[in-house]
Amino acid sequence: MNEYTIGYIACGSLLGLVVASLLYMLGGRNNKGIRRFGASFIIAATVNLAVYFLGNFSWWMLSLYPLLILQFIQGYSDDEGKGWVKRLGITATSVITGAILCFILGGGWWLLVIHLWVSLITTQFSFKNPIMAAAEEPMVCFLNNIAIIFYPFIS
């Protein structure tokens, strides 16, 4: 496959993650369904399209959508000082999704280390958050899912 084509697919995947991050933010206050089902669908569709265009599609890839819903239905507010525990649950769900993608795609296990490291950044915001809530929401979505959209590009 042409390297430009791979680059275009990667940039398209980033656009999908940006749209999902927007929906994640929009569903942060009202209509949680936008976050839970809309944003998760966009990421699942983005990854499935990337895998399809790269010629590695498997029907098992459709399991990505319920896994992302599971990640997105978890709350992460800091009620009673337990926000870090909630955010660890989201990180764990995200990394488990990555592990399942490694299994489906047949490799790329090393990316799980980077995935875990980047996703753990979001837990730090439960202790000290210098970012406004409306800006933090898309960042949380982006950080927990940036590795997920790049699993299809593992060689």
Q: Tokens 């800091």 label which residue?
A: 78
Single pTM value for the model = 0.92
The answer to whether the CB of 141 falls within 8 A of the CB of 26 is no
Model pLDDT, residue 30? 84
Tokens in use for 150? Answer: 């790049």
- Cα–Cα distance list, 72 to 28, 130, 153, 154 (Å): 11, 23, 24, 25
Mapping DSSP onto H, E and C, the string for 60-77 reads HHHHHHHHHHHHHCCCCC
Tens-digit pLDDT string for the chain (155 aa): 899 999 999 999 999 999 999 999 999 878 889 999 999 999 999 999 999 999 999 999 999 999 999 999 987 766 666 778 888 999 999 999 999 999 999 999 999 999 999 999 988 887 877 889 889 999 999 999 999 999 999 97
Mapping DSSP onto H, E and C, the string for 107-126 reads CCCCHHHHHHHHHHHHHHCC
Model pLDDT, residue 128? 78
